[in-house]
Structure 1
Amino acid sequence: MATKHLIHIENTGERYLCAEDENLLRGMEMLGRKGIPVGCRGGGCGVCKVHITAGDYAARKMSKSCVSDEELAQGVVLACRVYPQGEISLDVVGKMAKSVCKGAEAPSPQSTCSD
């Protein structure tokens, strides 16, 4: 059984456990909220873009049309292609941010969600 790590969604204050052999997007889906958009699940559509603000992870190949080299260097990745190697903090950005923030029950004081 794979080790599980705590993932913090900074936009909403939510936390969930994600196994090392499970991508971050799958873990988000397990929160049980409707409306978390998913696309190709293979790193080619860019729907699940997140910004990793802290923590170690392993990333698989992502389309350069979705995540530039500059974004990658800043920790912007696709949740469907990232696997936690320890505790992670992230901000949901792009197309997924509106849905994730809308479904959150209690945003944190430093929430970056906007209407």
Structure 2
Amino acid sequence: MRLEPYQIRILGGGQFACPEGERVLIAMEQFGASDIGVGCRGGGCGFCLVRVVEGEYRTGKMSTAKVSVADQAKGYALACRIYPMNDLVIEVL
């Protein structure tokens, strides 16, 4: 288990830490930041759509009506379903 949290940097915005196994959106809220829009937190509304510019991550289940498989291949994902595997740079849409 990793002891140091991953660093999440928002293009044109702030930066916050995300512990291993935590979702990016939840870590942002716990940090007190508000760079990413917050909606349902469940992967269905699409309000927290972002594009991961740099870094590796995995995603939990999210609505393909909000993020298609083709978009996922281009780095688009819902922040409420992104689990970083290293430091990330994210573009908020």
How many residue pairs were aligned? 92
User: Shift of the alpha carbon at 1:56?
Assistant: 0.8
Aligned to 2:12: 11
1:17–1:72 CA distance, 2 compared to 1 (3 A): same
Contiguous gaps of at least 5 residues in structure 2: none
- Which residues in structure 2 correspond to 1:65-76 (within 5 Å)? 65-76=65-76
Letter in 2 for 1:6: Q
Deviations along 1:20-54, whole A, 9 cap, x unmatched? Answer: 21101012213424685422211100000010001
1:20–1:40 CA distance, 2 compared to 1 (3 A): same
Structure 1 vs Structure 2: percent identity of aligned residues? 41
TM-score by length of structure 2 reads 0.87
1:30–1:76 CA distance, 2 compared to 1 (3 A): same
Larger Rg: 1
1:57–1:73 CA distance, 2 compared to 1 (3 A): same
What do you get for the CA RMSD once the two structures are aligned?
1.9
User: Shift of the alpha carbon at 1:89?
Assistant: 0.4
Contiguous gaps of at least 5 residues in structure 1: 94-115
Deviations along 1:68-112, whole A, 9 cap, x unmatched? Answer: 11110000000000111101001011xxxxxxxxxxxxxxxxxxx
Letter in 2 for 1:90: I
Runs of 4+ in 1 over 6 A off after TM superposition: none
